[in-house]
Amino acid sequence: MKKIIAIAAILLVLAPALFAQAAQETQFPDPEKSFTIVVGFSAGGGTDLIFREFAECLKEVSGADFIITNIPGGSSATGTNELLNGEADGYTLLGSGTHTVSATLQGTTAGFTELDYVAALNWDPFVICVQKDSPYNSFEELVAAAKANPGKIVLGNAGQTGATGVASIGINLNCDKSFNVTAFNGGAELIPAVLGGHCDAGIFSQSECINNIDGLKPLVILTPARSILAQLADVPTLKEAGFDFTVPGGSFRSLSVKKGTPQKAIDWLADMSEKAFNTERFQTYMKTKGLIPYFLKTKDYAEYDQTLIDSYTPILKEAGLYKFGN
């Protein structure tokens, strides 16, 4: 009996500590741990800079430490694969987006099939531009000219396997394959080709368009909403221009985690992302950079990502780049 009483007394003494330890083990986030956001591109690029700014805003609203780790290669597939080889504990996130969709469909990563959705953030728009002195003053006029002269009107992009390449193929498919879709070696070649009149039209990032606005005439923006930059505020969307189809409209950025991450971790990360997104600092940053805010959480983001997958699939199949499930 004395032994039983002694054991009971010991348990009473240890119980608070044991309960505290159990609570600590199930607590999320662990105040002793840092978060890592994997960016599949080199430091200093547009995607990297956006996630670095967002990480600072996450620190501000959560009090936790968020660190950016750059793992470039394979058009973001290398970084995605690195995350998928790690633990699904909620402490490692992926800077995901349209690049994740494209890489997954091209078979270089399991990508979105092995990811859970946290939050969608914004779009960095694509704009179709012509030379300032071009006779085309609207996208409708450009398409009409292409249909009247199949294969004669050159629509340039910055690379066949890149997002502008996928977008140009999509546009051509929806315009009776009337354009002569031509790939250039990056925007550095495409810009002078359009400015010099050697290429009728080109698909540019918004920043490229703004940087050359004295020589370029923007006709249409490919994102679902108009640009928030004053210089491009009057440029219509595809729908506003009278075209009822969807193509990759720019670089879409979001946050994801490895599938199997505890739901309480996903919910906490989504809530912190919403708070960080709505900070004055991040809103100002997006406005300054001309990014289009497009915030969605978990299930809503998952549904939206499926529309991106659906829009990329036929385009990549037509281009012979689709390897999903192979």
The token pair that represents 293 in the structure block: 């805010």
pLDDT at residue 22, as a whole number? 45
| Separation between Cα atoms, residue 135 and residue 45, nearest integer Å | 35
pLDDT at residue 189, as a whole number? 87
| Separation between Cα atoms, residue 219 and residue 117, nearest integer Å | 34
pLDDT at residue 321, as a whole number? 86
Domains and CATH numbers, the chain: 35-124+251-318 (3.40.190.150), 125-232 (3.40.190.10)
- pTM, entire model: 0.74
Q: What residue has token string 């502008």? A: 164
In degrees, to the nearest 5, what angle opens at C-alpha 105 toward C-alphas 238 and 257?
95
The token pair that represents 35 in the structure block: 């978060």
pLDDT at residue 42, as a whole number? 78
248 Cβ contact partners less than 8 Å away, ≥ 6 residues apart: 98, 126, 163, 166, 167, 170, 222, 308, 311, 312, 315
Torsion sign across C-alpha atoms 129, 293, 58, 259: negative
Measured from the Cβ of residue 191, the count of other Cβ atoms closer than 10 Å reads 23
| Separation between Cα atoms, residue 99 and residue 119, nearest integer Å | 15
208 Cβ contact partners less than 8 Å away, ≥ 6 residues apart: 187, 191
| Separation between Cα atoms, residue 288 and residue 309, nearest integer Å | 29
Torsion sign across C-alpha atoms 219, 181, 326, 77: negative
| Separation between Cα atoms, residue 59 and residue 272, nearest integer Å | 9
Q: What residue has token string 């009409």? A: 144
The token pair that represents 111 in the structure block: 């990508």
pLDDT (tens place) for every residue of the chain, 326 residues total: 555 555 555 545 555 544 444 444 578 999 999 999 999 887 877 788 889 999 999 999 999 999 999 998 877 889 999 999 999 999 999 999 988 998 899 898 999 999 999 999 998 899 999 999 999 999 999 999 999 999 999 999 886 666 788 899 899 999 999 999 998 876 778 989 999 999 999 999 888 888 889 999 999 999 988 998 999 999 999 999 999 988 888 888 999 999 999 999 999 999 999 999 999 999 999 988 888 899 999 999 999 999 999 988 988 888 788 999 77
pLDDT at residue 82, as a whole number? 97
Spell out where 132-266 has E strands: 154-157, 180-183, 201-205, 216-221, 250-258
pLDDT at residue 161, as a whole number? 60
The token pair that represents 324 in the structure block: 């999903």
Measured from the Cβ of residue 22, the count of other Cβ atoms closer than 10 Å reads 10
DSSP 72-120: --GGGHHHHHHHHTS--SSSEEEEEEHHHHHHHHTTS--GGGGEEEEEE
The token pair that represents 286 in the structure block: 């997006």
Query: What secondary structure letter does DSSP report for 232?
Result: G
| Separation between Cα atoms, residue 99 and residue 115, nearest integer Å | 14
Query: What secondary structure letter does DSSP report for 235?
Result: P
The token pair that represents 269 in the structure block: 């990360």
pLDDT at residue 14, as a whole number? 54
The token pair that represents 60 in the structure block: 């501000």
Backbone angles phi, psi at 201, to 5 degrees: -155, 155
Backbone angles phi, psi at 304, to 5 degrees: -70, -40
Torsion sign across C-alpha atoms 126, 208, 280, 267: positive
